[in-house]
Amino acid sequence: MPELPDLEVIREVLAPRLAGVEIVAAEVRRPLVVRNLLGGDAAERLVGRRFTDVGRRGKFLLLPFDDETTLVINPMLAGRIRYGEPLSRHRSRDALVLGLSDGCELRYHDAKDMGKVYLTPLGDLTRVPGWADLGPDATDPALTRDAFRGRLRRHTGEVKGILTNQSFVAGIGNAYADEICWQAGIYPFRRRPSLSDDEVVQLYEAVQITLAGAIETLRERVGDAIDVEVRDFLSVHGKAGQPCPRCGSPVSKVTHGRGGRSETNFCRTCQPGLMHGGRQRRL
């Protein structure tokens, strides 16, 4: 799942390459994924538009055009964005293919068809599902320690669940919530009221350290291959059974959600706590 660090690096790669570039051809290959909130044929509306910039808010990527419309991409679980030389053939899950005046192409590919691409007026992004409920960006300088603490007080659930709640702060998903909890030394299933003032500070600082460090690493690692997810540098997420980088204990995995679709990775030594509810313990 692309999260804030992934999409911020994608934004940095695309912004200087797309600004001023015209769309000369457009093909909507999966109408279920590509939604034209302006009405009419999306491909026809896209041809002739020029990109003016590339932006990001939380886990949304924004590609504004010179006609005051914008393409909003919400990759969700498996969406990938590719920019480069045209492929020799389409892939089965390519949802949108844009031919560009610089000779390159921009593709949105989604193996699960869960993500969405919206064409919408730039001045009315609230038409995009989920946009109106977004909290401040997790890396917004205005999200000070006090502002973070104030927003946290509104929630009483589990720490990891709060971190991934986009109305709390925008941009954190399953992977980086695991990393933040590990960085803070906090058991991910603890409920917010149990946190001390010092632990709230630790959590806030862990958000900043984890996301900034990931962005820096991805800048060095990703290059132009923005459609490839790089996660091997993470400390605990996806590392079940491997030694914790801090203490050497095996990293644990707990699956939860319908059919065990989601998993949480953490260190039981560095992040002690008691498990409640019906989650399934795997490691």
Q: What is the pLDDT of residues 94-131, one digit of tens each?
A: 999 999 999 999 999 999 989 999 999 988 999 999 99
Confirm if 66 and 101 have CB atoms less than 8 A apart.
Answer: no
- pLDDT reading at 7 higher than 60: yes
- Residue 89 CB burial class (10 angstroms; 0-12, 13-18, ≥19): exposed
- pLDDT reading at 145 higher than 50: yes
Q: Which of 35, 57, 59, 107 is catalytic?
A: 59
Q: Which of 91, 112, 145, 261 is catalytic?
A: 261
105 given a catalytic annotation:
no
Residue 276 pLDDT: 60
The β-bridge relationship of strands 34-36 and 116-121 is parallel
% of the chain beyond a pLDDT of 90: 90
Residue with tokens 């980086």: 176
**Is the sign of the CA dihedral 168, 268, 244, 279 positive or negative?**
negative
- pLDDT reading at 189 higher than 90: yes
136 CB contacts (<8 Å, ≥6 apart)?
Answer: 142, 143, 147, 151, 169, 170
159 CB contacts (<8 Å, ≥6 apart)?
Answer: 181, 186, 187, 188, 189, 190, 191, 192, 195, 203
Q: What distances in angstroms separate CA 193 from CA 57, 73, 90, one per listed residue?
A: 28, 35, 51
- pLDDT reading at 239 higher than 90: yes
Averaged pLDDT for residues 227-247: 97
27 given a catalytic annotation:
no
| Rounded Cα gap, residues 232 and 244, in angstroms | 14
281 — pLDDT class (breaks 50, 70, 90):
very low
Averaged pLDDT for residues 164-186: 98
Residue 278 pLDDT: 47
| Rounded Cα gap, residues 159 and 127, in angstroms | 30
* Higher pLDDT among residues 243 and 279, named by residue: 243
Q: What is the pLDDT of residues 148-164, one digit of tens each?
A: 999 999 999 999 999 99
Q: Which of 2, 5, 64, 136 is catalytic?
A: 2
257 — pLDDT class (breaks 50, 70, 90):
low
3 given a catalytic annotation:
yes
Residue 91 pLDDT: 87
Domains of the chain: 4-127 (3.20.190.10), 145-281 (1.10.8.50)
CB atoms near residue 142 (< 10 Å): 7
Averaged pLDDT for residues 168-181: 98
pTM of the model: 0.93
- pLDDT reading at 255 higher than 70: yes
Averaged pLDDT for residues 213-217: 98
274 — pLDDT class (breaks 50, 70, 90):
confident
| Rounded Cα gap, residues 58 and 104, in angstroms | 27
95 CB contacts (<8 Å, ≥6 apart)?
Answer: 28, 29, 30, 33, 34, 108, 109, 110, 113, 117
- pLDDT reading at 134 higher than 90: yes
16 given a catalytic annotation:
no
Averaged pLDDT for residues 263-280: 81
- pLDDT reading at 260 higher than 60: no
Please, what is the Cα angle at 150 between 196 and 168, to 5 degrees? 100
Q: What is the dihedral of CA 97, 64, 44, 67, to 10 degrees?
A: -160
Residue with tokens 């509306």: 45
Residue 280 pLDDT: 43
